[in-house]
């Protein structure tokens, strides 16, 4: 199910990947590329955590309707 929150999440992930790919193209060395990757990974994990938290909130609201 695609909700407004998931659309926002996908938009954020797409933006993050665009920024990551642009930074990788500019990287001049192996260590720089690895640092870019680790920064991107942290950002991606934070986006996913936030998205899953929002989905759990929505799920709990739906569950309350059935009580």
Containing 63, the helix (H) or strand (E) segment is helix 30-66
Q: What is the 3-state secondary structure (H, E, C) of 1-59?
A: CCCHHHHHHHHHHHHHHHHHHHHHHHCCCHHHHHHHHHHHHHHHHHHHHHHHHHHHHHH
Task: Delimit the domains of the chain by residue range.
Answer: 29-67
pTM across the whole model: 0.80
Q: Dig out the tokens for 21 from the structure.
A: 């790919």
SS3 call for 67: coil
Q: What is the pLDDT of residues 4-35, one digit of tens each?
A: 777 889 999 999 999 999 999 999 999 999 99
Residue 1 confidence (pLDDT): 57
Tokens 């990287």 sit on residue: 27
């Amino acid at each position: 199910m695609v909700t407004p929150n998931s659309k926002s999440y996908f938009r954020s992930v797409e933006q993050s990947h665009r920024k990551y790919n642009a930074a990788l193209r500019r990287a001049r060395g192996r260590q720089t590329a690895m640092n870019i990757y680790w920064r991107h990974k942290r950002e991606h994990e934070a986006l996913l955590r936030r998205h899953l938290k929002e989905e759990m909130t929505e799920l709990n609201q739906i569950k309350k309707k059935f009580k």
